[in-house]
Structure 1
Amino acid sequence: MYKAAENRYEAMEYKRSGRSGVLLPRISLGLWQNFGLEKPLDEQKEILFRAFDMGITHFDLANNYGHPANGMAEENFGAILKSDLGRYRDEMFISTKAGYDFLPGPYGDWGSRKYLMASLDSSLKRMGLDYVDVFYHHRPDPETPLEETMGALSDAVRQGKALYVGISNYKKEEAEKAIKILRDNHTPCLLHQPRYNMLDRWVEDGLLGLLDREGVGCICFSPLAQGALTNKYLHGIPQGSRASREGTSISGNYLTEEKLAGIRELDCIAKERNQTLAQMALAWILRRPEVTSVLVGASSCRQLEDNVAALKNTVFGQEELARIEQILAGIQIK
């Protein structure tokens, strides 16, 4: 039976989410990859145990996480909760989401009340939980009234199925409306979860400022640009890697030769900071005062440990930032 490390809260840094009472670890663990059939359950356990032993209390899931079947990550996470981690439930901050294609037919996608409430019930069953700490709407729905979608989130809190609610992938104008509706419903938005990394900086065009003014936390996903901001692709795309598969977004969005040249320059700056490229990329996001936490994936305990080591140095000098900015100006996604 797993027993958590007694010193698990000594090294991790925590930050308040907006103007709430919730403290989140600066590094959180996302279960998008590696928690389906990609790895045996024992290896998944090792990663989750190591994360918790390092003070990572926040575990982020969604109804469509897990390869090859939607919901498999929640099922596996639920099995590990039942066998080992369940006695630490009150020390854990667990989130799930709904909003992407999950079921066939008209009730398994987007943002209707029908879909969201049914999805949350199913997620709770898969994980064996009475409630999640955060329930997100995963992406804006251009056709369902926002009042209906946010109303479903608010009712999830009232029904005791979620303690807090959040939104993900909402642009500034969409987020501003959603935040107001949730506040009027007396279920304020705890977190916004956007994609944010050195190559994809759309959140800087007003969203981060909005979240700061409204007292909403920000937890960033894809901080390493699906692996582009690591040493994995510095010398090209390895055969058999995720980026080498036809149709993947990483190669087209992040790994053009122009961008790889800039990423190699960033790697030189990281070496000067005695960091890996991945550690510098995480630190660069965490330096922003609006950012509460970053979500990392992990295929091994060592990878997770390397990412958490980014917290050893999140301070950048003005000259460093200027050099980085000059490089990013030529390679970021427009």
Structure 2
Amino acid sequence: MQYRRLGRSGLQVSELSLGSWITYHNQVGTSAAIEMLAQAGDAGVNFFDNAEGYAAGQSEVVMGEAFKALKWPRLNYVVSTKFYWGLSREGNTVNRKDTLNRKYLMQAIDGSLQRMQLDFIDLVYCHRPDPFTPIEETVRAMSDMITQGKALYWGTSEWSAAEIRAAWDIAERHHLHKPVMEQPQYNLFHRQRVEQEYARLYEDIGLGLTTWSPLASGLLTGKYKNGSAPAGSRGAMESLAFLRDGLLDPARNAAVAQLEGIAAELGGNVAQLAIAWVNKNPHVSTVILGASKAAQLADNLGALALTPKLTPEVLARIDAMTQGLVR
């Protein structure tokens, strides 16, 4: 395992990390979380990603219980959470969901700390942009979390380049804590934001990336090649029905079948190739993996062996196979 600085900060995160979206509480209970966090830690993973909105806060509870059971020194791991959607959809939800206003944010951090049983959270993200709250209000609230010692670094997730730059400029102008990182989706089929829209931000403000969905929600595992969603897969989950059309796309699945040949040549499988491809981008600080079983996590960690094998020639072949399918 190699470690990379998070943007221009001094914090170092493992090039592969472990996230909890969809899996924790829904598919992974506390005992399985303990097993996989220990497995990841043994492999050198030091960053674990979460969010308030995952399983309505229960994902944070599961991860917090796992950390407590593992008894790791707090300096040994980096943990994140994200705010925007809130927890409750019942009753009066004004100022409690779909917002980044100060009232919500200053209470949300306290809730996450309690659920995760931590004194502070290393990385906190604005999970989506809020068009109805002035960016300056959000920037000041996020900066205050750090000043109060409840968080160490803050950033954004799925914000536009213009929104990130606006937040950074406000923080610079008012001597506030600046956003350090962005968490975008990034994989072989979803590339334009990372490779084009954010291009100036890497040099101009030192933006770091903690990317999610390296396997395009499972499309890049090859499991959807036959045109149907296997039982137990994300494509078969009714709560994720919005993903189904993309996962069953014939053209993309044909490209996945071609990519399997390159993966075999390199001594791996297509999932490992897809993760290694994301890891190869020097602007990516860490690639967030998702796993519901220890065997799946072990397989995904095998991407480390393929990363150095992605020569310019191999990368060009991959680009040719995915041409016209990227957004």
TM-score normalised to structure 2 length: 0.92
Following superposition, the deviation at residue 34 of structure 1 comes to: 1.9
**Secondary structure of 2:284's match?**
coil
1:17–1:23 Cα contact (<8 Å) kept:
yes
Are 2:84 and 1:93 aligned?
no
Partner of 1:192: 182
Partner of 1:106: 94
Q: Which stretch of the first structure deviates more once superposed, 242-251 or 90-99?
A: 242-251
Alignment partner for residue 327 of structure 1, among 313, 321, 326? 321
2:218–2:247 Cα contact (<8 Å) kept:
no
Q: Write the letter of the residue equivalent to 1:202.
A: Q
Q: Write the letter of the residue equivalent to 2:153.
A: Y
Partner of 1:61: 50
Per-residue deviation, residues 84-138 of structure 1 (Å, max 9, x unmatched): 2334222110111101243331112221111111111100011111110011111
State the superposition RMSD in angstroms.
Answer: 1.7
Please give the alpha-carbon distance, in whole angstroms, between the structure 1 residues aligned to 2:250 and 2:222. 15
In structure 1, runs of 5+ residues without a counterpart are 1-11
Alignment partner for residue 64 of structure 2, among 53, 73, 78? 78
Please give the alpha-carbon distance, in whole angstroms, between the structure 2 residues aligned to 1:133 and 1:326. 39
Please give the alpha-carbon distance, in whole angstroms, between the structure 2 residues aligned to 1:182 and 1:297. 33
Q: Which stretch of the first structure deviates more once superposed, 323-332 or 153-162?
A: 323-332
Per-residue deviation, residues 13-61 of structure 1 (Å, max 9, x unmatched): 1011122111100001111122114233212211111111111111111
Partner of 1:8: none
Please give the alpha-carbon distance, in whole angstroms, between the structure 2 residues aligned to 1:80 and 1:259. 37
- Point out 4+ residue stretches in structure 1 off by more than 4 angstroms: none
Distance 1:212 1:312, change over 3 A: farther
Alignment partner for residue 274 of structure 1, among 267, 272, 296? 267
Alignment partner for residue 23 of structure 2, among 18, 31, 34? 34
1:197–1:222 Cα contact (<8 Å) kept:
yes
Across the two proteins, how many residue pairs are aligned to each other?
A: 318
Q: Write the letter of the residue equivalent to 1:125.
A: Q
Q: Write the letter of the residue equivalent to 1:94.
A: V
Are 2:115 and 1:126 aligned?
yes
What percent identity do the matched residue pairs reach? Answer: 37
TM-score normalised to structure 1 length: 0.90
1:19–1:216 Cα contact (<8 Å) kept:
yes
**Secondary structure of 1:198's match?**
coil
Please give the alpha-carbon distance, in whole angstroms, between the structure 2 residues aligned to 1:317 and 1:87. 37
Distance 1:305 1:213, change over 3 A: farther
Following superposition, the deviation at residue 311 of structure 1 comes to: 1.3
Are 2:297 and 1:304 aligned?
yes
Alignment partner for residue 140 of structure 1, among 112, 129, 132? 129
Distance 1:280 1:174, change over 3 A: same
